[in-house]
Structure 1
């Protein structure tokens, strides 16, 4: 295998989210393409026979993000907006895990992700890590943040 990269889908907030993550994680957005930038027409219909887009939705989809790439710390996070006429249930069933060597770095990232979000587990000492916390950010993405020296687990 060459790589494993998370790919997040948003409902029209991809550009705002990826810009926020670049700031929080100290990364660079190396690609941001909109549906209107594609060499083919924007999606008007689900290829599996799903909902057909109205002319208004096709116009709205043009400015949605088709593909974004964030590079940070040797890692990659990919993201896109779901076309407006597709069913969107939010991001469910997974968390993005971040690891920081320094507690202060991890705490800074955790606190930034928590602004406008919901803390599931406060950033605190655990039996496996100097600090760990869980948060769902304001975009609905679940994060787990580890920081400091890992502890030996019995």
Structure 2
């Protein structure tokens, strides 16, 4: 058995995946399929991909159907950083055009911590233990 986070986007899957892979160290696209001619999604756009985001495999899907829901902060990606510089760089990148739920600070349970929703609506907790 294997549990894998699954992120569903509406037209922004490739942009989000590229952004995460360049923002989070040790991240890369593992495999990718695109919509073909006659399929539900726009031809050539990402249909389904699998990426390693900081060593965790994540499935990324581009839904051709509009849904009445999006991401919720109740489920988030939690990143433990090695240095304060790493944390600050990740927070700076992910927070651009996003919103903070908890701005970077010392909350007692961590030396440095931030919780935010990125510009795609995905929730991230960035931690320096």
- In structure 1, C-alpha distance between the alignment counterparts of 2:31 and 2:113, rounded to whole Å: 31
Equivalent residues in 2 for 1:96-135, closer than 5 Å: 96-135=77-116
47, 55, 61: which is aligned to 1:74? 55
Q: Does 2:2 correspond to 1:9? A: no
Indicate the structure with greater helix content. Answer: 1
CA change 1:4–1:103 in 2 (3 A) is farther
Contact between 1:123 and 1:133, CA under 8 Å: does it hold in 2?
yes
Equivalent residues in 2 for 1:1-154, closer than 5 Å: 1=1, 3-26=2-25, 27-36=27-36, 42=39, 58=40, 60-83=41-64, 85-92=65-72, 93-147=74-128, 149=129
What runs of 5+ residues in structure 1 fail to find an aligned partner? 43-57, 150-154
Moved over 3 A (4+): none
Instruction: Flag the structure with larger Rg.
Output: 1
TM-score, normalization by structure 2: 0.86
- In structure 2, C-alpha distance between the alignment counterparts of 1:113 and 1:4, rounded to whole Å: 24
Cα RMSD between the aligned structures?
1.9
Residue aligned with 1:61, SS: coil
1:11-52 deviation line (CA, Å, top 9, x unaligned): 100000000000001311121211218xxx62xxxxxxxxxx
TM-score, normalization by structure 1: 0.73
